[in-house]
Amino acid sequence: MLKAWYDETLKSYFPDSDEAFRRNTGFANPVGQAFQESMAVILDGIAEQAAASEFAAPLDRVVRVLAVQGLPAGVAIRFLFVLRDLLDKNADLSPNDKKKWQKQLDALAEQSVETWCECRETLAQLRINELRNRIHQLEASSIAKERGGSS
């Protein structure tokens, strides 16, 4: 299940590079590393019906990558719906299990949208910080000019 989810997700988001991202491991493939490690935790958490807080870190790790890929929020959380499709097609699961998993995935989708928004806000804040730093530098230099007596 993990492999299928990972493969489908890569194909979905990085259609031109999914092979390279699948081939490389570890630090040579930071996107793949983030996805694989986090997806494993998410999948285990769903199977064990873990509390929502258990999903925060792995969801953050995946969504943080997707939030800087130029994707709208709906597309950025699509990886959860990829899993939903896979679970739907899994014949080994009982209808009751499927229902439980799907409910949990709905909650994760909500959580992911929130994380995506936080990431985008952080990006905007970073831009503001950079502008503020630049203004601070300009102010410092204009104070220095005044003290120097000319411009």
Q: Which C-beta is closer to other proteins: that of 47 or that of 140?
A: 140
Taking CB under 8 A as the rule, which mask of x and - marks residues 39-78 in contact with other proteins? Answer: -------------------------xx--xxx--------
Report in angstroms the alpha-carbon separations of 34 from 3, 99, 128, 146. 14, 28, 28, 51
Dihedral-angle region of residue 45 (phi above 0 means left; psi in -120 to 50 means alpha; beta otherwise): alpha
Q: How far is the CB of 113 from other proteins (least distance, A)?
A: 18
Give the range of 19-27, 42-50, 89-97, 104-112 binding other proteins by CB under 8 A: 19-27
In the block, tokens 């969504």 appear at 63
Choosing from 3, 99, 103, 145, the residue that interacts with other proteins (CB under 8 A) is 145
Report in angstroms the alpha-carbon separations of 146 from 99, 141, 149. 70, 9, 5
Within 10 Å of residue 98's Cβ, how many Cβ atoms? 14
Question: How is residue 50 annotated by DSSP?
Answer: -
147 lines the binding site for other proteins (CB under 8 A)? yes
107 lines the binding site for other proteins (CB under 8 A)? no
Number of residues binding to other proteins, judged by CB under 8 A: 45
Q: Which C-beta is closer to other proteins: that of 117 or that of 126?
A: 126
